[in-house]
Amino acid sequence: MIQLDGFHHVAITVSDCDASAAWYADVLGFREMFREEAADRKACVMQFPGGEMGVGLVEHRPVDDADKFDPRRRGLDHLAFSVGSRDALEACAAQLTAAGVPNSGAIDVAPGAILNFKDPDGIALALFWDRS
């Protein structure tokens, strides 16, 4: 059996790497770790504040604009980040609203609460508070 140490990163295909990197920094407070560019793609790896988790934003060339992200297709349904308390989740909802980002507000679920929203490409994101 392969020995795994844990989660390393998630890569998300975006339509404009520069615009998405700016949005993830401005709205979610991520910081840029590094960028790389090749003939067929552009990528930016981001890190959320106070954490080691990486989120890779990848712009493939050429981009087919007609093929937008849809969480109902095979692939990514959504990407959820953790927050430390219910109050923090409520504060995040207010911050997203103030930034002009439509969101669900905090929704109670059996293990805690979830807040759903989308990035500029319509990729489904969530913030999750786990009560345990």
Does the model's pTM come out above 0.75? Answer: no
In three-state secondary structure terms, 94 is helix
pLDDT in tens, 37-56: 988 889 898 998 877 777 88
pLDDT category, 62, cuts 50, 70, 90? Answer: low
In the chain the domains, ranked by start, together with CATH numbers, are 1-63 (3.10.180.10), 77-132 (3.10.180.10)
Buried-state track 42-58, b at ≥16 Cβ within 10 A, e below 16: bbbbbbbeeeeebbbbb
pLDDT of residue 72: 59
pLDDT category, 8, cuts 50, 70, 90? Answer: low
pLDDT of residue 64: 56
